[in-house]
């Protein structure tokens, strides 16, 4: 079902704005909101009809569950039936922040939020704007990234409007997102706990609280045909610009030589690569700094489309720290195409 064209309100995040957006959400509306990771498309997590509108506006497959956002710990019992000691320790260590825990689903949460699963992903963002909005609505807010399904996640209000203007009730016009990639998702309903999606809360940090955490195989590789995946989102095409993207793994010299030899595309590269390249460059941070890569990646992917680029060679990031999250998004943007030098 496609949403009908409607006027999408631009709402300023001040007292009056929170009230206006909160009222929309309490009455079945769908509103895009900034968070520290990416913009989310929020709806009441208790309202099946509002959730159906979120899936329709995004063009999202119905079997891909949404993350539910809370403003503070007093809301946790609203969304989950059981808070284990493990969950408490994780909340203490990583909330508020770019961190989502899959927990047993609370009764009031709409079934469509969890795509029929008996678990729910829960996150307390550090963004003050997001938390003000949650408080104004007086509800836990289900919010997937506010992009058309399959495209890179939006990190500015402008990106949201490019994808969803005319299909959603409003956008809370906040700042550009600080982190740039979606939250870390772990499952605590799995034993041992499992990393489903890497993010700015790193595996190294998680291990300090959950020493036995396992990394889901789908974090680094394409899920096999017909294989059951722990996080349904991992089986879909994702983060993909229109350009054909190819990941190239090698050191600076190898990468630059390879790209210069191809001469049929642009370079999505690190700042250290720039002066050795003879093709147009799209820089995404520093080779040894995952945070700068995460900050830039989705913006660069969207710029490739704006510039109508057809082919691009992406210098592979590392797989430690925040770079693991960047690698995970990048390899999917590349449709798992990779050249190892």
By CB under 6 A, name the binding residues for ligand TXA.
Answer: 35, 37-38, 40, 64-67, 98, 100, 102, 114, 117, 119-121, 123, 143-145, 182-183, 185, 196-197, 231-233
Strand order in the sheet with 244-249: 281-283, 266-269, 311-315, 244-249, 338-340
Residue among 96 and 265 whose Cβ is closer to ligand TXA: 96
Q: Least distance in Å: CB of 182 to Mg ion?
A: 6
Say how far apart CA 168 and CA 72 lie, in whole Å.
26
- CB closer to ligand TXA, 8 vs 328: 328
- Of 47-55, 138-146, 223-231, 309-317, the window that binds Mg ion (rule: CB under 5 A) is 138-146
3-state class (DSSP) for residue 161: helix
Which residue number has the CB closest to ligand TXA? 233
Shortest Cβ distance from residue 168 to ligand TXA (Å)? 14
Q: What is the DSSP letter of 167?
A: T
Closest by Cα among 146, 327, 307 to 241: 307
CB closer to ligand TXA, 168 vs 248: 168
Binding partner at 143 among ligand TXA, Mg ion, none, C-beta below 5 to 8 Å by kind: ligand TXA
Q: Which of 145, 183, 184, 323 binds Mg ion (CB under 5 A)?
A: 145
Decide: is 183 part of the binding site for Mg ion (CB under 5 A): no
User: Is the CB of residue 199 less than 8 Å from the CB of residue 98?
Assistant: yes
Considering beta carbons, is residue 175 or 278 the nearer one to ligand TXA? 175
Residues 90 and 101: their CA atoms lie apart, in Å, by 8
Shortest Å distance, C-beta 68 to Mg ion: 14
* Nearest residue (CB) to Mg ion, 239 versus 282: 239
- Supply the minimum distance, in Å, between the C-beta of residue 137 and ligand TXA: 15
Task: Please name the residue ranges forming H helices in the chain.
Answer: 15-26, 48-58, 76-79, 85-94, 128-137, 157-164, 203-209, 252-262, 290-306, 323-333
Q: Residue 97 and residue 188: Cα distance in Å, rounded?
A: 17
**Which C-beta is closer to ligand TXA: that of 198 or that of 265?**
198
Task: Write down the residue that tokens 């990646």 correspond to.
Answer: 297
Are 322 and 200 contacting, i.e. CB atoms less than 8 angstroms apart? yes
Binding site for Mg ion (CB under 5 A): 145
């Amino acid at each position: 079902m496609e949403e009908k064209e409607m006027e999408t309100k631009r709402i300023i995040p001040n007292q009056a704005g929170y009230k206006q957006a909160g009222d929309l959400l309490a009455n079945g509306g769908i509103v895009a909101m900034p968070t520290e990771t990416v913009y989310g498309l929020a709806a009441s997590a208790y309202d099946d009809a509002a959730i159906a509108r979120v899936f329709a506006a995004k063009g999202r497959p119905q079997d891909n569950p949404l993350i539910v956002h809370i403003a503070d710990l007093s809301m946790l019992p609203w969304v989950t039936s059981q808070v284990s000691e493990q969950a408490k320790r994780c909340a203490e260590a990583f909330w508020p922040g770019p961190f989502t825990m899959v927990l047993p689903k609370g009764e009031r949460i709409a079934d469509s939020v969890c795509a029929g699963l008996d678990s729910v992903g829960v996150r307390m963002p550090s963004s003050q704007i997001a938390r003000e909005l949650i408080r104004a609505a007086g509800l836990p807010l289900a919010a997937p990234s506010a992009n058309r399904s399959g495209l890179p996640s939006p990190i500015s209000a402008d990106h949201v409007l490019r994808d969803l203007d005319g299909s959603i009730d409003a956008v809370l016009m906040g700042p550009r997102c600080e982190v740039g990639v979606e939250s870390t998702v772990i499952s605590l309903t799995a034993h041992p706990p499992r990393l489903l999606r890497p993010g700015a809360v790193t595996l190294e940090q998680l291990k300090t609280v959950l020493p036995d955490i396992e990394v889901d195989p789908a974090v680094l590789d394409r899920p096999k045909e017909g294989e059951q995946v722990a996080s349904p989102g991992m089986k879909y095409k994702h983060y993909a610009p229109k350009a054909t993207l190819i990941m190239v793994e090698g050191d600076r010299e190898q990468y630059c030589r390879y790209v210069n030899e191809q001469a049929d595309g642009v370079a999505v590269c690190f700042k250290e690569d720039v002066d050795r390249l003879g093709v147009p460059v799209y820089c995404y941070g520093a080779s040894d700094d995952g945070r700068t890569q995460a900050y830039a990646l989705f913006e660069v992917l969207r710029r490739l489309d704006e510039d109508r680029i057809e082919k691009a060679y992406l210098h592979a990031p590392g797989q430690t720290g925040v770079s693991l999250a960047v690698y995970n998004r990048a390899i999917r943007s590349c449709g798992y195409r990779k050249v190892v030098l």
